[in-house]
């Protein structure tokens, strides 16, 4: 027999209709279990109510006045068509593309047809620009756009900014693909063209510094040329200009190099990137001859890129400890 406390608890739970069942002396019988099972089966036979997601519910509330929906129909999304006006010939950037990149600040504005149109325009531009680059620099291979453009999705794994999309289009060109010359297009007068070596690994940086300390004449002449200074600024160590003034630049001479060394000013650089001393305006990017403007800047930067490539591949000769007799 169950305890008096258990009996009292069992009496309080059921409805009043079943009170007689639980006041009987047969509390140990299986009838009480059958009553519970019947009640459970009765509750399970009730039809489940359809729960609408908050997003769909919001869409239905805002759009039900615009559409005459029949019973059972609901708004699940709105198809946004790509612009039919403002298109430009292959090799140009249109205002439609800049409008799309501007709207990507809101992740919800990722309409697929609009993106596909902007992406195709970007690929056409890169294909035309690559042909000009090959004429300027024979070391750049004729790679298809998919091998040089960067994905529009951001890597958010280790970032506090969880925005899924970039707000720009970019591509880079070199002997091996996505290195070397870097083109970055972003609305708001933030576009730029860059070149050089960004964050070389330890062995590459050691080779660059060794060649600089051996003979930096070629490098110094290139970064001091008037045409070079016009686009990339004067070579002034300690200021953000030319190849100097980056955040990762060393504050003192690298290990093993005396601080009084003649070329220590170049050796403190941990990266050797170039970016135009001015940002390209939206008007420049949208102009019909923009790719020719980029080709002009690349012509100035090309000897610098070739110099770095030679320093990375040519190992300086080791000094002999003993003179040959």
Which of the listed ranges 83-87, 131-135, 154-158, 251-255 does the model predict with the highest average pLDDT? 131-135
Per-residue model confidence (pLDDT) at position 93: 93
Give the per-residue pLDDT at 171: 92
pLDDT at 8 over 50: no
Q: 53 Cβ partners below 8 Å, 6+ apart?
A: none
- Does the structure show a pLDDT above 60 at 7? no
Cβ 121 vs Cβ 88: under 8 Å: yes
**Which of 73 and 296 is assigned the larger pLDDT?**
296
Give the pLDDT confidence of 155-192 residue by residue, as tens digits. 888 888 888 888 899 998 887 655 667 888 899 899 98
Predicted confidence band of residue 47 (pLDDT cuts 50, 70, 90): low
pLDDT over 90 at 233, yes or no: no
> What SS3 state is found at 76?
coil
Question: Under DSSP, is residue 282 helix (H, G, I), strand (E, B) or coil?
Answer: helix
**276 phi and psi angles, rounded to 5 deg:** -55, 140
283 pLDDT more than 90: yes
In degrees, rounded to 5, the angle at the alpha carbon of residue 197 between the alpha carbons of residues 194 and 200 is 145
Mean pLDDT of 97-116: 81
Cα–Cα distance measured from residue 321 to residue 313, given in angstroms and rounded to the nearest whole number: 24
Please classify residue 174 by burial: count the beta carbons closer than 10 Å to its beta carbon, then call 0-12 exposed, 13-18 middle and 19+ buried: buried
pLDDT in tens, 49-95: 555 555 445 544 544 455 567 777 766 656 667 788 888 898 899 99
pLDDT at position 248 is 81
Which residue is listed with tokens 């009170």?
Answer: 19
Rounded Cα gap, residues 109 and 308, in angstroms: 42
Task: Identify which has the larger pLDDT, 226 or 86.
Answer: 226
Question: Where in the chain are the domains?
Answer: 95-151+166-313
Give the closest residue to 133 by CA, choosing from 84, 183, 85: 183
31 — pLDDT class (breaks 50, 70, 90): low
What digits encode the pLDDT tens for the residues 113-127?
Answer: 888 889 999 999 999
Total Cβ atoms within 10 A of residue 68 = 7
Strands 272-275 and 169-173: unpaired
Range from 136-140, 165-169, 174-178, 310-314 carrying the lowest mean pLDDT: 174-178
Q: What is the pLDDT of residue 9?
A: 45
Taking the model in full, what pTM does it have?
Answer: 0.67
Taking only Cα atoms into account, the Rg of the chain, rounded to an integer number of angstroms, comes to 35
């Amino acid at each position: 027999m169950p305890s008096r406390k258990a009996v009292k608890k069992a009496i309080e739970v059921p409805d009043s209709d079943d009170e007689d069942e639980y006041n009987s002396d047969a509390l140990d019988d299986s009838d009480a279990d059958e009553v519970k099972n019947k009640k459970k089966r009765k509750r399970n036979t009730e039809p489940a109510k359809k729960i609408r997601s908050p997003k769909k519910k919001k869409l239905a509330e805002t759009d039900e006045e615009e559409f005459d929906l029949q019973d059972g129909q609901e708004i699940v999304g709105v198809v946004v068509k790509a612009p039919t006006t403002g298109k430009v010939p292959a090799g140009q950037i249109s205002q439609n593309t800049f409008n799309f990149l501007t709207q990507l600040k809101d992740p919800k504005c990722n309409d697929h047809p609009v993106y596909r149109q902007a992406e195709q325009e970007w690929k056409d531009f890169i294909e035309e620009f690559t042909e000009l680059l090959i004429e300027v620099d024979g070391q750049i291979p004729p790679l298809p756009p998919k091998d040089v453009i960067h994905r529009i999705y951001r890597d958010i794994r280790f970032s506090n900014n969880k925005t899924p999309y970039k707000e720009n289009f970019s591509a880079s060109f070199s002997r091996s693909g996505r290195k070397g010359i870097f083109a970055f297009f972003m609305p708001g007068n933030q576009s730029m063209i860059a070149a050089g070596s960004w964050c070389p690994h330890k062995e590459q940086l050691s080779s660059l510094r060794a060649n600089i300390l051996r003979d930096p004449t070629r490098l110094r002449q290139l970064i001091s040329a008037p045409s070079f200074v016009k686009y990339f600024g004067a070579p002034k160590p300690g200021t953000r200009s030319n190849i100097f003034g980056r955040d990762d630049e060393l504050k003192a001479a690298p290990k093993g190099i005396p601080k009084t060394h003649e070329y220590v000013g170049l050796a403190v650089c941990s990266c050797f990137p170039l970016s135009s001393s001015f940002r390209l305006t939206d008007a420049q990017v949208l102009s019909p001859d923009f790719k020719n403007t980029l080709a002009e800047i690349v012509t100035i930067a090309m000897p610098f890129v070739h110099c770095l490539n030679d320093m990375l591949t040519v190992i300086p000769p080791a000094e002999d400890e003993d003179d040959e007799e």
